[in-house]
Amino acid sequence: MLAGPVPLANAPARARFVSRDACIACGSTDLRAVAQGRFDAEPLRGFLAADPWGEDPLPALGDAPWELRGCAACGQVFHRWVLDDAWQKLRFRRWMGEAAMRSFAERVGATAFPARWSSGTNRIAHVLRLERLTRELRTRDEAPRVLDFGCGWGELVATATLAGCDAHGVDWDAHRLRGAGLGGDRLVGSLSELDPSLRFHAVTLFEVLEHLTEPLEVLRQLRYRLAFRGILVVEVPDCSGVDGIRTLAEYRAVHPLEHINAFTPASLERFVERVGFRRIETPAAWVTADPVRLARTAAQRALAPWRRTTQAYFRREE
């Protein structure tokens, strides 16, 4: 826990942090600082102030330090200081209110038609791939069982369900989103709320691992829920070349409150394979009526073996 100045009677409570003193991947304590600073120092303070918030976090953050560190043993990069459990819940419920999240989505263009069309067709493509990759795991008439961990509003759950899949979603805020979200009562707040005997043919984690305090443990829990030779899909921001917070792009990649784990294509592959998965080639899936776009996508796929990304498909091997 961070030691800070004693707050004044009318001052806001100071955020509490815990230190991660072992590598999140290999457990080594041979760690080095990649970059460090304080929340009240520029440019980080300016980036935080410009973001939409339900409740301004800056008074609670004060002069608390941040430190991006790297493991000398395996190369994994992650933030040392993370909010404790109580403050993580406060961050979601007070700092990141629903209105703030929608405002941010509008600011980055996520609510505009081109972005929604792209994300919608991408979800359809993922469902098509999962159906193909899981055929060996089920009978002809058996629907693919899909779990979207960190499902947000439940868009993938809804898409997969419309395609006939037995789809479920887990998100800590599912109790609030269940009514407004697209996934309906298929969304739950934790893995423990699912039938413990249920084994999934596929599990997806889209922009999840970068947020987790103990990401390797979460992967182990999900592996247990996955059928042998089941499919895992992981997508995280690509932090290749990021070694500090100097620009808005770097801030978005390694936001010290949000993106507390930093991955490159190579480090993501090593990380996931530690718990019994093997990376596989992403199958082709085309969702378009535009022949020009189809040709462009096919050309991009031809380069795929030489252009690894931080969106990857894995198969459970153990």
Across the beta sheet with 261-262, what order do the strands follow? 31-38, 65-71, 77-79, 261-262
| Residues 196-201, mean pLDDT to the nearest whole number | 94
Per-residue confidence (pLDDT) for residue 291, from 0 to 100: 83
Phi, psi (rounded to 5 degrees) for 311: -115, 120
Per-residue confidence (pLDDT) for residue 256, from 0 to 100: 98
**SS3 state at 68:** strand
Please say whether the beta carbons of 309 and 281 come within 8 A: no
Q: What's the Cα-to-Cα distance from 137 to each of 130, 203, 269, 316, rounded to whole Å? A: 11, 14, 23, 12
- Whether the pLDDT of residue 98 is over 90: the answer is no
Considering 53-57, 85-89, 102-106, 249-253, the range whose residues carry the highest mean pLDDT is: 249-253
| Residues 273-298, mean pLDDT to the nearest whole number | 88
**SS3 state at 3:** coil
Amino acid letter, residue 56: D
- Whether the pLDDT of residue 93 is over 80: the answer is yes
218: CB partners within 8 A, 6+ apart: 149, 209, 212
Domain boundaries, the chain: 17-104, 112-316
- Whether the pLDDT of residue 5 is over 80: the answer is no
Strand 261-262 and strand 77-79: the pairing is antiparallel
Please say whether the beta carbons of 272 and 223 come within 8 A: no
- DSSP state at residue 22: S
- Whether the pLDDT of residue 110 is over 60: the answer is yes
Instruction: Kindly report, residue by residue over 14-24, the tens digit of the pLDDT.
Output: 999 999 999 99
Instruction: Kindly report, residue by residue over 212-264, the tens digit of the pLDDT.
Output: 999 999 999 999 999 999 999 999 999 999 999 999 999 999 999 999 999 99
How would residue 293 be classed by pLDDT, with cut points 50, 70 and 90? confident
Q: How many other CB atoms sit within 10 Å of the CB of residue 240?
A: 15
- Whether the pLDDT of residue 162 is over 50: the answer is yes
- DSSP state at residue 306: G
Amino acid letter, residue 66: W
Per-residue confidence (pLDDT) for residue 12, from 0 to 100: 59
Please indicate whether residue 13 or residue 312 has the higher confidence score (pLDDT).
312
- Could you tell me the fold of the domain covering 112-316? Rossmann fold (3.40.50)
- Whether the pLDDT of residue 207 is over 90: the answer is yes
- Interatomic CA distance for residues 169 and 202, integer angstroms: 12
- Whether the pLDDT of residue 179 is over 90: the answer is no
Angle (CA) 175-178-183 rounded to 5° is 135
Structure tokens that stand for 303 in this block: 């380069």
| Residues 278-290, mean pLDDT to the nearest whole number | 92
Per-residue confidence (pLDDT) for residue 4, from 0 to 100: 38
Q: How many other CB atoms sit within 10 Å of the CB of residue 158?
A: 21
Mean pLDDT lowest among 129-138, 142-151, 165-174: 165-174
Per-residue confidence (pLDDT) for residue 96, from 0 to 100: 85
